[in-house]
């Protein structure tokens, strides 16, 4: 839950912010160019020092959805126990957002996972590699156009033999 | 086609070639990693210059599966995430689902869920501390811990029929009510556990070998802990006082008298101490909850159309019958708002939350798990830098990395 004064400060600095509440959770939506300034403001000025999670939702199959990807940052303040969800929508072909590793070290692996699973590029990330899937993998499995089963990646892997290795 | 190297080496700035630096593969199959994870260690003699984790060996697409299973089915998958405290995962998942649905649980259900969460915390800390002891050479301590863990699994078995894969919770309630036998067993456990805990503390708290192996090893400062997203015992051992049980009371935690256990040193030894102290507090909560267990239903009212009605309700009331049909028919299910929400609990390992996007059906459109093990393992290379090879197991054990949750 966000305190009213925090929200007032936030909307004063970012007038284009869309704010909504659901079950006592405050969510804001920002256009992707102002994502990093907003996160910086939240961390440096408003005391959101804990990056809880970074995740992404692919809205490909969702009825009435207009955007393809929704990037989600969950932030919390260890001081005032406020929480805020920052969302930003991305569309192909421009799936690049600036990295948040400069603000939180914890963003490193979380962003790598989002890249691995959704193919969102985090510009300036110090170690921009896949993390859960093997490096040879060429798809992003949590995208909605990736099937749950039946693609057969295993068969595409090169077979190593004892003689050839 | 040759395979691309799966671990890229980071360039270390050095003027002359360092011939004496050699690379050691630690895992993926190694007794001290406990689970399947791999570390590539760069060693200068016995000192670790750099550790490069390579994970993904146990990746089984749990989040992808979550997009095809209903809220009640997916609880079986959460069992397999952190398999040393599955009850806490069950509660976390359904807590998130109920937050999305806006359900208010009956008091008895909240109390039982609190009890199972705390029993899961005790079981997790017994395994974790036991394993730290084992890895640093204290075998007796490990056996003491595992004896009591066996009692806990016996309790879980009495409650839901399964020892490990409990799947005890349901949307809006529980699989079934707790039996008097389970209550009796929990009471018996509360009686014997303090003496074991005292024995364990006497075995290790001032044990010279153990203290030498863990004190000052794997230091994490308070600012770093928060900056690197650490939560739970690991953050609290570094002086962060955040605990969701106090800060954002969920279930019935506000009814109980307990303390948040913190330390300031931030090393492996403080993490051990915090876990030992948390077991005492968990025991206090369980004792209070079991003595004040409210009577009444464990599931939400059948009018809510989320929890299955009892057979008596189905056969003798029209509401029960309708509700049963509504839930069982494959094209009905319950109504879910087209919204997204995040809810977390203080799991034994830290903040375990689920970010669920609902699309109107009872299958999550996106079921994101915020896994504490994943976030804590990211800290590992930072903690181990400059320590010796033998400290790797101590640090790894004190972080309590569960690879099934790490990779999901």
Per DSSP, the three-state class of B51 is strand
Q: How many domains does chain A have?
A: 1
**pLDDT, averaged across chain B:** 87
Q: Which residues of B73-100 are buried (b: 16+ CB within 10 A; e: fewer)?
A: ebbebbbbbbebbbbbbbbbbbbbbbbb
> B370 - beta bridge partners?
B353
How far apart, in whole angstroms, are the C-alpha atoms of residue B50 and residue B13? 13
Q: Do B64 and A105 touch (CB under 8 A)?
A: no
How far apart, in whole angstroms, are the C-alpha atoms of residue A39 and residue A23? 23
Contact A49, B226 (CB under 8 A): yes
> B344 - beta bridge partners?
B353
pLDDT of A53: 92
Compare A155 and A162 and report the one with higher pLDDT: A162
User: Domain containing A103: what range?
Assistant: 4-156
pLDDT tier at B5, thresholds 50, 70, 90: very low
Q: At what angle do helices B139-160 and B107-135 cross, to 10 degrees?
A: 160
Chain A residue with the nearest C-alpha to that of B368: A55
Domains of chain B (ranges; CATH) run 62-407 (1.10.645.10)
Give me the mean pLDDT over the B90-107 stretch: 90
Nearest by CB: A136 against B3, B65, B68: B3
Compare A125 and B17 and report the one with higher pLDDT: A125
A133 is a domain residue: yes
Q: Check whether the bond before B382 is cis (ω within 30° of 0).
A: no
pLDDT of A19: 83
The pair of three-digit structure tokens given for residue B57, joined into one six-digit string: 């060996």
Q: Do A106 and B228 touch (CB under 8 A)?
A: yes
Q: B224 touching A, CB under 8 A? A: yes
pLDDT of B4: 43
pLDDT of A55: 92
CATH of the domain at A25: 3.30.460.80
Contact A101, B373 (CB under 8 A): no
User: B6-11: long-range contacts at Cβ-Cβ below 8 A with a sequence spacing of 24 or more?
Assistant: B6/A134, B6/A135, B6/B54, B7/B40, B7/B52, B7/B54, B8/A129, B9/B52, B10/A127, B10/B50, B10/B52
Contact B105, B333 (CB under 8 A): no
How far apart, in whole angstroms, are the C-alpha atoms of residue B300 and residue B306? 8
A126 is a domain residue: yes
pLDDT of B276: 92
The pair of three-digit structure tokens given for residue B49, joined into one six-digit string: 């210059």
Query: How many residues would you count in chain B?
Result: 408
A163 is a domain residue: no
Query: How many residues would you count in chain A?
Result: 165
Range with the lowest mean pLDDT among A60-64, B26-30, B106-110, B121-125?
A: B26-30
Nearest by CB: B56 against A53, A133, A160: A133
Contacts of A158 in chain B (CB under 8 A): 1-3
Q: In 3D, which of B75, B78, B12 has the Cα closest to residue B370? A: B78
Contact B396, B380 (CB under 8 A): yes
Q: Does residue B122 surpass a pLDDT of 80?
A: yes
Q: B64 touching A, CB under 8 A? A: yes
CB-hemisphere CA count at 13 Å for B114?
31
How far apart, in whole angstroms, are the C-alpha atoms of residue B386 and residue B47? 6
pLDDT of B126: 92
A165 is a domain residue: no
pLDDT tier at B1, thresholds 50, 70, 90: very low
A15 is a domain residue: yes
pLDDT of A163: 73
Please report where in the chains the tokens 């503390």 appear, as a residue: B201
Give me the mean pLDDT over the A122-139 stretch: 87
User: Cα B312 to the chain's mean position, in Å?
Assistant: 36
**DSSP designation for B303:** G
pLDDT tier at B299, thresholds 50, 70, 90: confident
Residues 6+ apart with CB under 8 A from B25: B38, B39, B40, B41
How far apart, in whole angstroms, are the C-alpha atoms of residue A106 and residue A77? 15
Give me the mean pLDDT over the B249-255 stretch: 88
pLDDT of B123: 92
Compare A150 and A15 and report the one with higher pLDDT: A15
> Which percentage of chain B shows pLDDT scores above 70?
95
pLDDT of B272: 92
Sheet with B21-26: list strands edge to edge.
Answer: B21-26, B38-44, B47-54
Q: Does residue B172 surpass a pLDDT of 60?
A: yes
A10 is a domain residue: yes
How far apart, in whole angstroms, are the C-alpha atoms of residue B341 and residue A22? 7
**pLDDT, averaged across chain A:** 85
Q: Do A158 and B374 touch (CB under 8 A)?
A: no
pLDDT of B8: 43
Contact B116, B109 (CB under 8 A): no
pLDDT of A156: 62
Q: Do A50 and B100 touch (CB under 8 A)?
A: no
Q: Does residue B166 surpass a pLDDT of 50?
A: yes
How far apart, in whole angstroms, are the C-alpha atoms of residue B198 and residue B295? 33
From chain B residues 263-322, the ones with a CB under 8 A of any chain A CB are none
Cβ-based neighbour number of residue B72 at 10 Å = 23
Contacts of A164 in chain B (CB under 8 A): none
How far apart, in whole angstroms, are the C-alpha atoms of residue B383 and residue B51? 9
Cβ-based neighbour number of residue B180 at 10 Å = 8
Contacts of B357 in chain A (CB under 8 A): 57, 62
pLDDT for B362-376, tens place per residue?
Answer: 888 999 999 999 999
pLDDT of B3: 45
Q: B191 touching A, CB under 8 A? A: no
Residue to mutate among B8, B342, B381, with most A CBs inside 10 A, is B342
> Which percentage of chain A shows pLDDT scores above 70?
92
pLDDT for B268-288, tens place per residue?
Answer: 999 999 999 999 999 999 999
The pair of three-digit structure tokens given for residue B394, joined into one six-digit string: 């101590």
Contact B333, B305 (CB under 8 A): no
pLDDT of B14: 52
pLDDT for A118-127, tens place per residue?
Answer: 989 999 988 8
Q: Do A55 and B6 touch (CB under 8 A)?
A: no
User: Cα B373 to the chain's mean position, in Å?
Assistant: 8
First CA to last CA distance, chain B: 29
A164 is a domain residue: no
Q: In 3D, which of B377, B366, B375, B348 has the Cα closest to residue B124? A: B348
A32 Cα to chain B: minimum distance (Å): 19
How far apart, in whole angstroms, are the C-alpha atoms of residue B265 and residue B227? 17
Range with the lowest mean pLDDT among A36-45, A155-164, B11-20, B187-196?
A: B11-20
């Amino acid at each position: 839950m966000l305190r009213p004064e925090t929200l007032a400060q936030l909307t004063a600095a970012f007038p284009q912010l869309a704010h909504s509440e659901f079950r006592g959770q405050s969510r804001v939506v920002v256009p992707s160019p102002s994502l990093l300034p907003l996160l910086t403001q939240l961390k440096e000025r408003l005391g959101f020092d804990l990056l809880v999670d970074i995740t992404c939702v692919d809205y490909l199959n969702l009825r009435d959805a207009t955007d393809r990807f929704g990037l989600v940052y969950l932030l919390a303040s260890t001081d005032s126990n406020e929480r805020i969800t920052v969302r930003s929508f991305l569309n192909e072909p421009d799936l690049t957002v600036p990295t948040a590793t400069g603000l939180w070290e914890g963003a490193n692996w979380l962003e790598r996972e989002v890249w691995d699973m959704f193919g969102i590029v985090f510009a300036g990330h110090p170690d921009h590699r896949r993390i859960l899937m093997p490096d040879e993998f060429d798809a992003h499995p949590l995208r909605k156009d990736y099937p749950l089963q039946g693609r057969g990646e295993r068969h595409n892997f090169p077979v190593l033999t004892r003689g050839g290795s | 086609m040759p395979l691309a190297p799966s671990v890229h080496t980071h360039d270390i700035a050095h003027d002359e070639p360092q011939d004496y630096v050699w690379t050691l593969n630690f895992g993926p199959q190694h007794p001290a990693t406990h689970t399947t994870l791999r570390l590539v260690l760069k060693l200068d003699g016995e000192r670790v210059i750099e550790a490069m984790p390579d994970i993904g060996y146990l990746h089984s697409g749990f989040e992808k599966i979550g997009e095809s299973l209903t809220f009640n089915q997916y609880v079986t998958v959460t069992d397999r995430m952190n398999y040393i405290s599955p009850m806490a995962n069950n509660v976390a998942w359904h807590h998130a689902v109920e937050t999305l649905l806006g359900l208010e649980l009956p008091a008895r259900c909240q109390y039982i869920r609190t009890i199972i969460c705390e029993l899961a915390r005790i079981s997790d800390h017994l395994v974790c501390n036991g394993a730290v002891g084992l890895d640093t050479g204290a075998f007796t301590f490990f056996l003491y811990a595992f004896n009591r863990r066996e009692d806990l699994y016996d309790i879980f078995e009495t409650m839901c029929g399964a020892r490990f894969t409990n799947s005890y919770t349901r949307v809006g309630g529980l699989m079934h009510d707790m039996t008097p036998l389970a209550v009796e067993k929990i009471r018996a456990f509360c009686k014997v556990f303090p003496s074991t805990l005292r024995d364990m503390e006497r075995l290790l708290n001032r044990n010279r070998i153990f203290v030498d192996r863990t004190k000052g090893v794997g230091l994490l400062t308070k600012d770093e802990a928060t900056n690197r997203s650490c939560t739970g015992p690991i953050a609290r051992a570094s002086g962060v006082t955040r605990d969701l049980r106090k800060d954002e009371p969920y279930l019935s935690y506000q009814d109980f008298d307990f303390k948040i256990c913190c330390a300031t040193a931030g090393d492996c030894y403080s993490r051990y101490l915090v876990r030992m102290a948390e077991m005492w507090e968990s025991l206090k909560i369980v004792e209070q909850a079991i003595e004040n267990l409210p009577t009444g239903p464990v599931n939400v009212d059948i009018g809510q159309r989320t929890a299955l009605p009892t057979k008596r309700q189905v056969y003798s009331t029209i509401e029960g019958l309708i509700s049963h049909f509504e839930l069982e028919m494959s094209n009905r299910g319950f109504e879910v708002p087209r919204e997204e929400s995040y809810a977390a609990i203080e799991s034994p390992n830290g903040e375990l939350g689920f970010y669920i996007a609902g699309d109107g059906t009872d299958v999550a459109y996106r079921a994101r798990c915020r896994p504490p093990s994943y976030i804590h393992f990211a800290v590992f290379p930072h903690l181990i830098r400059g320590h010796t090879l033998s400290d790797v197991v101590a640090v790894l054990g004190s972080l309590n990395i569960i690879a099934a949750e790490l990779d999901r």
